[in-house]
Amino acid sequence: MIGHRNATTILITLLAASGCRSEQNSARDVAPGVDARLALSSGGPGNGAGPGHAAAGARRLWVGEYTDFYASAVSPDGRYVTQVDWTTGDLAVRDLATGNLHRLTDKGPWEESGDYAQSARFSPDGHRVAYAWYDAGTSDYEIHVLDFIEGDDAAPRASGARVVYAGGVPQPASRMFDWLSDDEVLIGLYRADNSTALARLSLSTGSLDVLESFDWDQEPGRVEVSPDRRFIAYDQPSSSDSATAIQLLSADGRRETRLVEVPGEAAPLGWEADGSLLFHRGQSGDGAIWRLPLSDGRATASAVLVRENVPHLQSLGLAGDVLYYGLVVESPAYVTATIDFDGHQLRSLPTRFDAPGIGLIVGLAWSPDGKHVIYRVQDPTSAATRVQLRSADARLIREWKLELWPMRTVFGWVSDGNAVLVPARDRLERPGFIRIDLETGEETMARRFDSGGEMGKVFATSPDGATLYYTRHQLRDGVMDESFADIIAHDLASGDERPIRRVHGHGTLTVSPDGKWLALATGTRTGEAIHTTLQVVVTDGSQARTVYRGAGANSLLPFDSDAPPVGSVLFCQCHVVGWSPDSRSILFLDLVDRTSDDPVDVDLLRVWIDGGAVERVATIPDYDAGATVQPDGRTIAYRTGRWRGEIWALELSADPGRTADPVPEGRT
């Protein structure tokens, strides 16, 4: 998808490979009434062996820490691939001959500027690069272009960078799709009515020409322009949520044809010199590359299988008769384990929750009875919010694509487990707590906030699902004051609210199983020292006390006082994993000494709310994020793993099978 305009977070951590079992591709899988039927060709180059395959015609060019392939594109000569250098946010290119990364912009360190580059495309002659750029000052995306200079022996460099389109309304999306001529590029747009569009942007005048409009949930994900610049191929969700169509649009926007509709996911990969379109088809964790012969925008033969066993491929484009693509071969996933309190260790369980397709699981939360989990799938190719409900053994129960954009991915279960709450913005950009019905997927606003004042991203729900607890900050002289927060109890049935207590700082909020206590984790800084603090508050507001105060280096302090935190307030570098079933203790992670975003071993602590020594319960190995304990107090799920990607080149000339039986013409 084009990507939502409020998605300003760095997207390097948004991809993951699926762990689903594969299903054999078959011509019988095609939906009835499609415009081009898929037919297996026995004359193809042979099957690969998944990521790392080494069949005929495929070469692995690079392997390393995963890069955001969705935003990358190959140069016309196949030498370079555009990339974002996330150490600074600068636009860069990777030299595929040497593996070296070279920056093309120089915005300075993150401490000086929050700007960053996004997707980029080389011009057909390779002498210019057009790219999307996020301006942190305006929170808008812009379209820039620069001259690309490739030296004989020197590192490549850029000159003449300039802003072509400076955001505003309509606002460019984070995806720069392709070049339509020497003076025009194809971009995505967001408009005031929340619709999206494909548009031609003139580099010389900055003028826009809208070619095709889409509802928010129908916008294309992958867009490819034909070599003669006459046609635009893009994928689009079909009328059925389980199918995808590949559409063909004339470059003037006047003619549109449906080329292919298949179960599962599909995306165009690029065009060959003879006008054939390559596309990727994926279903149930499997994937394959197909070729569809075209003439004057119409299919002339059946689609031919080019290569199997390439799930979640991300095209980098074609250079000559070579297809370049990226694969994510390792990614974080949620694993489960039993906490052995006596042995002070975790004992691994077989159940794991992998991201479906291309995505990353965030905000996993157990249901009150421990029989289900719910989470969001962050997907850099999708603007929609994708939510999945699974059984405790990881079986998929239901999936939704919702018209909301979470402000913080934390789910709170309500009623009898038939609904959840999430702090989000609705389709009209209104912030609040949105209720998702788990039977119908219907979204309703449970508690709306004034976007100019109060805000409540930190929240929890009572065990009986009747009360929403949240922390509310207020504006002071137009600036959100986060040095204190009011804990509010909101009755979900009547809408009545009552303040419970004013607390210092903000962080994570959880409710004890007996419904009597709230645990609030905060972070504070005193001089150069950063501390974490865990407070407990009686839900009627009558009592509050500090039960843990870290002093760095994960030092464990006994229960000491009910004094408030001291020093300036930070967002909590800590995490409440859950409560014990008897509501007497809290499982807690103090992450203040974690110095990088890389997975690291962390101590799981048990904090007693009525005093006593804090104890190390176990060590979580290679912890990435999101630890949460099942209501039984013994089963933990946490995200672990690292990112690794590969860049491959597929020699299309190695495929002898290029024709098949004629098929009906596409629908117009």
* Residue 70 φ then ψ, to 5°: -60, -25
pLDDT mean across residues, the chain = 80
Q: In a 3-state reduction of DSSP, which class is residue 71?
A: helix
Q: Which residues of 549-558 are buried (b: 16+ CB within 10 A; e: fewer)?
A: bbeeebeeee
Is 132 or 482 the better-scoring residue by pLDDT? 132
The CA distance from 206 to 88, in Å, is 28
Q: For 434-484, what is each residue's pLDDT tens digit?
A: 999 998 888 899 888 875 555 666 889 999 888 999 888 766 666 666 667
Q: How far is the C-alpha of 73 from the C-alpha of 79, rounded, in Å? A: 11
Confidence of residue 35 (pLDDT cuts 50, 70, 90): very low
* Lowest-confidence pick of 260-264, 386-390, 486-490: 260-264
The stretch 156-173 carries a mean pLDDT of 88
pLDDT tens track for 232-250 = 999 988 765 678 899 999 9
CATH topology of domain 333-642: Neuraminidase (2.120.10)
Are 402 and 441 a contacting pair, CB within 8 Å?
yes
pLDDT bin (cut points 50, 70, 90) of residue 528 is low
User: Strand ranges (DSSP E) for 309-430?
Assistant: 314-319, 322-330, 333-340, 345-353, 360-366, 372-378, 385-391, 396-402, 405-406, 412-414, 419-425
The gap from C-alpha 291 to its chain's centroid, in whole angstroms, comes to 29
**CATH 2.120.10.30 fits domain 34-330+646-654:** yes
Within 10 Å of residue 118's Cβ, how many Cβ atoms? 24
Mean of pLDDT values over 509-520? 93
Report which residue type is found at 170: P
Q: What is the mean pLDDT of residues 354-370?
A: 86
Please state the pTM of the whole predicted model: 0.75
**φ, ψ for residue 169 (rounded to 5)?**
-125, 125
| DSSP E strand boundaries for 153-230 | 157-165, 171-179, 184-190, 196-202, 208-214, 223-225
Boundaries of every domain in the chain: 34-330+646-654, 333-642
In the numeric block, which tokens belong to residue 398?
A: 């239901």
* Residue whose C-alpha is closest to residue 473's, from 493, 450, 496, 439: 450
Are residues 218 and 241 in contact, defined by beta-carbon separation less than 8 angstroms? no
What radius of gyration, in Å, describes the C-alpha atoms of the chain? 26
Tell me whether the CATH fold assigned to 34-330+646-654 matches the one assigned to 333-642.
yes
